[in-house]
Every structure is written in structure tokens, then in C-alpha cells.
Amino acid sequence: MKTNTKLLSNFIRDFKLENDDQSVCFKASIEFHAKGVYKKMDTEVHLVTILKTGLSVLYLLDPAVMQNQVPDTIPYIEQLFSYKENEFLSIQGTDGHYGPYTLNIFPLEKNCYPETLDEIRKKENN
């Protein structure tokens, strides 16, 4: 996968998250921290980079993420992302519901479920 950011490139490389078709979709455990709130859950994560604009976006795909009012679409903003090498990707954001938050993403497996990958490929080909 081509990305314009060294941080995301290092994260993808270190965890070997790039699939044979150069997509990045993987299973992860996430931890969401906000004032007085802690939520932990597993989800599939899809990372997309739009090469024309250089914009990268993380999508947290499990419906439980949205049901728990955890942000599920996160654009890459360099100042808000950090990477603890070979451990996790961290995002410091602000949400309308929770206010300031930290979201940590711990990769569990290199690939999403086959059904998810099929759905992503169908959308990319349209």
C-alpha cells in the first residue's frame, strides 16, 4: 500500500499488514479512553490512502464500534497519530460525544475476514 506518511508505513511494515493485493485490512483489538470512559473491543480495521490527495483514513469496521459511540472513521492527521514501535498505533482525537480521547490499535492478525475483503474489493472496483 502506498501511503505518504512514514509513521503509517512503519506501522504497516512492522506488523506485515499489507495484503497480496496491496490493501491493508486487519483484525485488531482497540482500546478507547475518554474522560471516565474505557472501552475495549475487537474490530477489523481498513486503512485507505487516496493517492491523489494523500489523505489516509482508518475505518473501524465492526458495528459494535459505532454502537458504543467510538469514532469509526478517523482521518490521518500527523499531529494526532503516534506509533509505539511493534506495539500499537495511537490516536489522540476529539469527539463530539466524548470530547478528548485516546484510541489505541493493537493488530491481532494480518487479514480481515474473507467476506470483508470481498466486500472491500467490490466497492473498490465500482
Is the pLDDT confidence value at 125 over 80? Answer: no
pLDDT at 2: 62
As a whole number of angstroms, the distance between CA 35 and CA 13 comes to 33
Is the pLDDT confidence value at 126 over 90? Answer: no
Identity of the residue numbered 67: Q
pTM over 0.85: yes
Quote the DSSP letter at residue 98: T
pLDDT tens digits, 48-89? 988 778 889 999 999 999 999 999 999 999 899 999 999 999
Burial of residue 70, with CB atoms counted within 10 A of its CB: 0-12 exposed, 13-18 middle, 19 or more buried: buried
pLDDT tens digits, 12-47? 999 999 988 888 999 999 999 999 999 999 999 999
122 pLDDT band, cuts 50/70/90, is confident
* Residue-range domains of the chain with CATH: 6-125 (2.30.29)
| Cα diameter, the chain | 42
Short-list 80, 18, 13, CA closest to 48: 18
Identity of the residue numbered 123: K
Edge to edge, what strands does the sheet with 55-60 contain?
Answer: 73-75, 55-60, 37-50, 24-34, 99-109, 88-95, 81-84
Buried b (16+ CB within 10 A) or exposed e, 37-57: eebebebbbbbbbeeeeeebe
Is the pLDDT confidence value at 112 over 70? Answer: yes
1 pLDDT band, cuts 50/70/90, is low
In the chain, DSSP finds a helix count (H) and a strand count (E) of: 3, 7
pLDDT at 80: 95
